[in-house]
Structure 1
């Protein structure tokens, strides 16, 4: 158990989009000279780096506790956008005494004075950062890449994602663009539900924050040299799920002031998530648990009480539920749910109802999505019945044991077919680990992606989509090409190999031309790619498979029995 805890601690930061290699969020960006931009939202002083201009920590809205974001109505005057702003309150490890072992360790480490000072967590946290090529002029009308971080809807902040290297690489490739990274509320601050919250219009606050940030970009990005008509939204993990949520929000209405807020989406490891409503028994239980662990228990208006109790009291109560780093894994307490307004139904149902914005998209996964989410389940039996009981009690409480068993049986007990995939009989951490890792990764990410692709193609066959499977960490013991390993490979480009360079080129082409293969436009065609990426269609369900030194193509029909089972039981497998 200790060995597993140490291993998980080593990868958890990356896997849940916790601090990947990047700048210290407490420090200012490398600044040489200041640069000032005047926009409708105010005047902002940024920092000029050698090849990038950075405007960090710009407030875009206020965040009253458990209430919708409130836009600023008075422009800022000479706002200092050269330093990183605070993170929203984080839910990394459980605060509950006697909670899961690893969650307790993480909670202890993340509440040390050093990390608390570095994150500067506070409720007034809705800010965004803008990175643009040095010398970008007013009227340049550069495309915009709008980043939504991941972190299981419980952690993450924008200053861990310094976009400087992405913008520099885009300039080198001849496809200069502007990069925007936002903060949105997570955990109990952004995704607490229940009948009280829903009635107050305060469900899915994190998604509401994202939408207001997109509106800020529409109103102001032109002053920074960006084109509000050419915005691509991009996210990883919970951020990728958020991208599809934004595509589905308000039944697909992404129009603001008569124009679309975005024209395309990129989803790394995440898309549709079948979920129960914001007033469901499961959602209400989370709200009631939070209330019961505060002085609001028994209050006539518990929501009003939660809004006014001291920050520390609400923090401890909201974070007392199991975290994603423990035994419960991705059976998350906090996540987007249908609330009747922002999300009128589960996002998978909205796809089949054709209630989503008609935009082209890229979607893909890491080959071994489920490994890091299956490391802490050694106490369950590795048998079929053990896995069925685990899924029935924590994940799919609306399904019958027979339905869950039928799905589990599509995953053989043979170690050679579990995850990390293609590793023969190796990497079985505990009995049933590889089988559970394959199942969880498919249910949350890899095969759900295929459900989305087939569904969107059935209702809108003319909307292009491209899909991938990343295998560039193939051979890594125990975790393989694990969930969120693309943050290191693609976002930061820490390993300047064939994969990182060419994936960035695909994305730059897509941002410019809505086609990852099209290198036209920009300042040059240095973003030309050698490997053609075929469009995904039911007639040609082909993925591009990314390896560190080369790319190949893969037919998207693996684990077909599991896919058909997942699609069959989709409405019963709601979280």
Structure 2
């Protein structure tokens, strides 16, 4: 069988050697594909036995008169073949997004990449990756997102997939808002970029051997938020663009305040004054003529201080708040994985919190009233043994914060965990299937003070055993070190459960083989291939919800979703009562706390 010849990843390979090997074959053009607009030539990656096609445009460049406009489909064809052997520049953003590829950003960035099993295949399911970065930085060329690993794993598991990753406009370039933008209909352009990329996939992925009727979208952090934006778009209208969704540490809903036109207008005024576009009629028309570097310097200065990029109720893409959409059932009801890491709050919460008064001050400073602060102080008692990170035992010192674990736990549920559970609740209430998880593993290079913080599951899901892309940010291979064996074992389980979900809409089929492309691999070969056995991951039920607990050195399993149940329920009710407004508590928002979400 030809897939036996695929190069297996060598555990604990040095990152430098991995990068050298990556560069050694990069650009060896041998594979050609005919898409709607013309022909592309990619390259064969022998180390992973994949055919790679990189940097293919899915839209017209959003430059000149197309700046700050909704993305436009490609309108040209070509003869001959274009090279698709290099990642395109990342979309220009906040300015801290260049470490992974060097100074390699541009306005002309609306491209995608396709990684497929080498050779000829038909009707493989497709996984589309939407990168994170706060909607202000990042790109598909980040080597930590190398999809060759997950494609290789899918072949070895007998469930082959095709992987796609996309760029989309960031920061003000993709999410600028204001009255003129709203009236012109050029809103939510970053999300619209993502949707146009999904349309390109529908039109062209069959040429690569993909099945346009089996597309799953996946994102982490703001990529997970983007997944939520696609699920809620146009009140959940089904345009046939995707059929499953995965959101890692990002949800369609949060306790935060939504920005609106009135919030954006002062920022637009600042930009127009700084660029000399005030008093010129159409500010947008004027801004389209400002040189890229000059405009970006203003966007990344104090001129846009206070800007909050993300979903806005614009009357088109979003006609209601996320909480209203979820409770009304106005979302696309596809199978959905949504989860968080156990210690996200360590990164999002404060340090040096030593007293209950400082806890109260932290909550009030986060935009809540005194009554809410006192409620939360009761719901989250000062008991270090039940706080996060669980890897930090006992009470920290005052330099870190005597109540550091308490504040981190509040931040955990405020920023991530309540939104995870609340979203899955509404999926179940409206008869849709979802699977939710909490990830808890201490990766190589992080201390027990950190625990399973934000982003740490990415290497596991991508099965990045080589640590590709991590040294550029000063980090070691997250799956290396003295605990490598247990980390890699967990990574294989997670990666293959994700692959199973892409194939079947169910993460529990990773011991099966129902592939059209590699049907000769039979179930009885599972042990020979080293497929991971794990306890079943149960879908969420409205009355007795469960989450899947991914853990290191222990069997991962489904558990009742009652972790800090009273505190999480309080946050859930606050989210539903707040509805994206700036009211400061459940009562202040017109609600009452009774533990029953359906009464809100």
TM-score, structure 1 normalization? 0.83
5 Å-filtered alignment, 1:286-301, equals 286-301=267-282
- Please give the secondary structure, in 1, of the residue aligned with 2:91: coil
> Residue 347 of structure 1 aligns with which residue?
322
1:56 has 2:54 as partner: yes
Whole-Å separation in 2 of the counterparts to 1:412 and 1:200 = 50
CA contact 2:424–2:435 (8 Å) conserved in 1: no
Three-state SS of the structure 1 residue aligned to 2:105 is coil
Match of 1:101 in 2: none
Q: In 2, distance between residues paired with 1:286 and 1:169?
A: 47
The residue correspondences of 1:372-387 to structure 2 (distance < 5 A) are: 372-374=347-349, 383-387=358-362
Query: 1:210 — aligned with what?
Result: 194
Which protein has the larger Cα radius of gyration, Structure 1 or Structure 2?
A: 2
Query: 1:280 Cα shift?
Result: 4.2
2:309 aligned residue: 334
The match for 1:261 among 225, 228, 241 is 241
Given candidates 555, 559, 568, the residue that maps to 1:563 is: 568
What CA distance in whole angstroms lies between the structure 2 residues aligned with 1:163 and 1:280? 38
Shift of 1:219: 0.3
- Alignment length, in residue pairs? 517
Who is 1:466 aligned against? 435
Distance 1:332 1:295 in 2: 20
1:203-239 CA-partner distances (Å, limit 9, x unpaired):
2111000000000000000111100000011111111
Consecutive unaligned residues of structure 1, counting only runs of 5 or more, are 1-18, 94-109, 393-398
1:73 aligns with one of 72, 75, 78: 75
Match of 1:315 among 296, 315, 326: 296
Spell out, residue by residue over 1:145-198, the C-alpha distance to the aligned partner (whole angstroms, 9 max, x if none): 011111111111001122111111111111111000000111111112222222
Q: Deviations over 1:23-54 (max 9, x none)?
A: 69x97962444211011132111011110000
Residue 152 of structure 1 contacts residue 332 of structure 1 at CA under 8 Å; is this kept in 2?
A: no
Partner residue of 1:390 out of 365, 370, 392:
365
RMSD, aligned CA: 3.0
Alpha-carbon distance change, 216 to 506 in structure 1, aligned in 2, over 3 angstroms: same
Shift of 1:371: 1.2
State yes or no: 1:118 paired with 2:98: no
Verify the 8 A CA contact 1:388 1:408 in the aligned structure 2.
no
Q: 1:40 aligns with which of 36, 40, 49?
A: 36
Does the C-alpha gap of structure 1 residues 354 and 482 become closer, same or farther in structure 2, counting only changes over 3 Å? same
- Relative to structure 1, the CA distance from residue 562 to residue 280 in structure 2 (aligned partners, 3 Å threshold; closer, same or farther) is farther
In the alignment, which of 136, 140, 144 is matched to residue 126 of structure 2?
Answer: 144
Q: Does 1:506 align with 2:497?
A: yes
* Aligned residue among 453, 458, 474 for 1:487: 458
Is 1:554 the equivalent of 2:554? no
Q: Which runs of 5+ in 2 are unaligned?
A: 1-14, 466-478, 480-486, 582-600
Work out whether residues 388 and 405 of structure 1, in 8 Å CA contact, stay in contact via their aligned partners in 2: no
Q: Verify the 8 A CA contact 1:370 1:441 in the aligned structure 2.
A: yes
Q: CA 1:485–1:432 in 2, change beyond 3 Å: closer, same or farther? A: same
Map Cα deviations across residues 118-142 of structure 1 (whole Å, 9 max, x no partner). Answer: 24211111000000000034xx111
2:392 to 398, 401, 423: 423
Q: Which residue of 1 aligns with 2:578?
A: 572
Match of 1:176 in 2: 160
**Any conservation in 2 of the 1:427–1:477 contact (CA below 8 Å)?**
no
TM-score normalised according to structure 2 size: 0.79
| CA–CA separation in structure 1 for the residues paired with 2:211 and 2:316 | 29
Per-residue Cα deviation, 1:377-427 (whole angstroms, up to 9, x for no partner): 8799961332133202xxxxxx54434553454322344433213633345
**SS of residue matched to 2:90:** coil
Question: What's the counterpart of residue 14 of structure 1?
Answer: none
Describe the shift of the 1:21–1:314 C-alpha distance in structure 2 as closer, same or farther (beyond 3 A): farther
Per mean C-alpha deviation after superposition, the further-off stretch among 477-486 and 547-556 is 547-556
Q: How does 1:153-164 map to 2 (within 5 A)?
A: 153-160=135-142, 161-164=145-148
Q: Which residue of 1 aligns with 2:514?
A: 521
Deviation track 1:421-460 (CA, whole Å, cap 9, x = no partner) reads 3633345623554333222221221111111111221122
Seen in structure 2, the aligned counterparts of structure 1 residues 436 and 76 have a Cα distance that, compared at 3 Å, is farther
Distance 1:241 1:60 in 2: 22
How far off is 1:82 after superposition? 0.5
Alpha carbons 1:235, 1:268 under 8 Å: kept: yes
In 2, are the aligned partners of 1:28 and 1:84 still within 8 Å (CA)? Answer: no
Question: Does the aligned pair in 2 maintain the 1:387–1:408 contact within 8 Å?
Answer: no
CA distance in 2, matches of 1:291, 1:194: 12
CA–CA distance in structure 2, aligned partners of residues 289 and 20 of structure 1: 45
- Using the TM superposition, give the Cα deviation of residue 339 of structure 1 relative to its aligned residue in structure 2, in angstroms: 1.2
**Distance in 1 separating the partners of 2:352 and 2:314:** 32
Per-residue CA shift, 1:472-506, capped at 9, x if unaligned?
A: 11883222101110112222432262211011111
SS at match of 2:119: coil
Contact 2:351 2:404 in 1 (8 A): no
- In structure 1, distance between residues paired with 2:291 and 2:44: 40
Q: CA deviation at 1:80?
A: 0.9
Corresponding residue of 2:407: 436
SS of the aligned residue for 1:517 comes to coil
Q: Residue in 2 aligned with 1:10?
A: none
Per-residue displacement from partner, 1:249-272 (whole Å, max 9, x unpaired)?
A: 1111131xxxx1111111111112
